[in-house]
Structure 1
Amino acid sequence: MSQTTDHNSKAWDKKVEAGVRYTTTVSPETIKEARKGNWTIGVTADRQVPREWFPASLEGCKVLCLASGGGQQGPVLAAAGADVTVFDLSAKQLEQDEQVAERENLSLKTVQGDMTELSAFADESFDMIVHPVANVFIEDVRPVWSEAARVLKERGVLISGFMNPVLYLFDDEKEEQGVLDVAHTIPYSSLDEEEVIEGQALEFGHTLEDQLRGQTAAGFAIVDMYEDDFGGTRIIDQHIKTMMATKAVKIRL
């Protein structure tokens, strides 16, 4: 495990303890509705993934929730009938999924590891991968796409959320004061800042070429996409969408 990976694993454990948004488990009501076929999930901050991105029925569909711990996407998809494996760097995030599974009598598996290295899984193990905004926490995104292609079956679907790198151009502290001040270049690395703060995740702003062409180079065809933001909670939301999601289909290795 690299120093960055180890740092971010511990940071996300602390986020669970603090109860931040992306560590909060889904409610019993949400699971009840999912069992009836009434469900949605998100891979960005605000919008929900279109239902037409999924098969009509998830029964028997083998789904990898990649870097997706927290008791959110995985339990909903399991309640909807999918055979779910949740893979995440944070042990405490995975515990959130396990707690929901126990509470709701759901069957799902959890595996701890780095999203860039999926050796725990054989080639062509899954029908679908759901990958919410998470590659912002790794230095090199390209291995995520190549490993996703390896473990997906032919014509398997990859649903990914990620950041538009424009977000990382601006000084965070000044944005909190209502000022958009260009202070960084892309690609961005928080390792370039003056200090690494314990408990605060390290973030990386990847180029759109690495995010999009990285998928096509790994053997995916991007067939749909949408944009999203933080729900209007940030100044930059008034000017541009800073998140996006893609649906991609594996067409070759």
Structure 2
Amino acid sequence: MDTLDQNSKAWDKKVEEGVGYTLPVSKEEIEKSKAGDWSIKMTPNKAVPREWFPESLEGVSILCLASGGGQQAPVLAATGAEVTVVDLSAKQLEQDQAVAERDGLHIKTVKGSMTDLHFFRDEEFDVVVHPVSNLFVEDVSSVWQEASRVLKDEGTLIAGFTNPILFIFDDEEDMKGNLVVKNAIPSSSLDHLTEEEVKGYIEANHTIEFGHTLEDQIQGQIDAGFVIAGLYEDDFGGRRPLDEYIKCFVTTKAIKKKMD
């Protein structure tokens, strides 16, 4: 099964359905960003601390990795940064292009996988921002390795990801308000499905998601040459039962170590 192709189609469908993570920022938010009043999110609710970025983003080269949808990239472009977006979904990238055309921004868009950035040269970017999305690839280590490769020495990676505790519960029961432990970690949304159920799941254009260990998420960055320099947690904003007990999202700031 081609997971990347499946998730590309699934995210195109989410754009057509108007799912929240596909809705671009407003013209008003872009105007505020141009005036210096801006913020972006890697997770559902909490904004990235402003001090995690350079004091000025004018001319700073930023890669928005698996970050289509017209949200982070237009805001950063409005600050004067040189922004490139990579996403697996053509329709998500169209959202960024639409905002750029609407608000007079320059954003470069590239359709591709976060696991293979061969279209970029080594040390091309100053900053990589990577909102929660590596749950859509099986091998998260390749995401960290590629992010490290395309970042300059002392460059910054700001990455959001899920706490694996979210994936141990039965998703259908969770939506009903019941916390029922079902999955081990690492896991896949195709686990426990029969061959016929997998076929129906794919035909319905659902995303294939993977629950990664915290070791793969955090030590994986360190193994790729990063030093973790900041961390915060976030939740669903009270929309899911787990919010009562634990925050299910993490964002880290990591600095690429200077090569000797």
Residue in 1 aligned with 2:246? 240
Amino acid at match of 2:62: V
Residue in 2 aligned with 1:81? 80
Deviation track 1:163-203 (CA, whole Å, cap 9, x = no partner) reads: 00000111112222322111110001112241332221111
Percent identical across equivalent pairs?
A: 60
2:175, 2:30 → 1: CA distance?
A: 36
Contact 1:220 1:252 (C-alpha < 8 Å) held by counterparts? no
What are the residue-to-residue correspondences of 1:136-215 with 2, within 5 Å? 136-194=135-193, 195-196=197-198, 197=201, 198-215=204-221
1:115, 1:177 → 2: CA distance?
A: 32
Residue in 2 aligned with 1:31? 30
- What number of residue pairs does the alignment pair up? 252
Runs of 4+ in structure 1 off by over 4 angstroms are none
Unaligned runs of 5+ residues in structure 1 are none
Deviation track 1:102-145 (CA, whole Å, cap 9, x = no partner) reads: 00010110000010000010000000000000001001100000
Residue in 1 aligned with 2:107? 108
**1:133 counterpart SS class:** coil
Amino acid at match of 1:246: T
Residue in 1 aligned with 2:69? 70
Amino acid at match of 1:209: E
1:142, 1:185 → 2: CA distance?
A: 19
Deviation track 1:32-68 (CA, whole Å, cap 9, x = no partner) reads: 0000000000000111101010111000100000000
Cα deviation, residue 13, structure 1 = 0.1
1:79, 1:175 → 2: CA distance?
A: 38
Contact 1:62 1:127 (C-alpha < 8 Å) held by counterparts? yes
1:17, 1:134 → 2: CA distance?
A: 19
Cα deviation, residue 237, structure 1 = 0.8
Q: TM-score, normalised by structure 1?
A: 0.98
**1:191 counterpart SS class:** coil
1:226 aligns to 2:232 (yes or no):
yes
Unaligned runs of 5+ residues in structure 2 are none
2:171, 2:147 → 1: CA distance?
A: 32
Q: TM-score, normalised by structure 2?
A: 0.95
Cα deviation, residue 252, structure 1 = 4.4
1:174, 1:82 → 2: CA distance?
A: 43
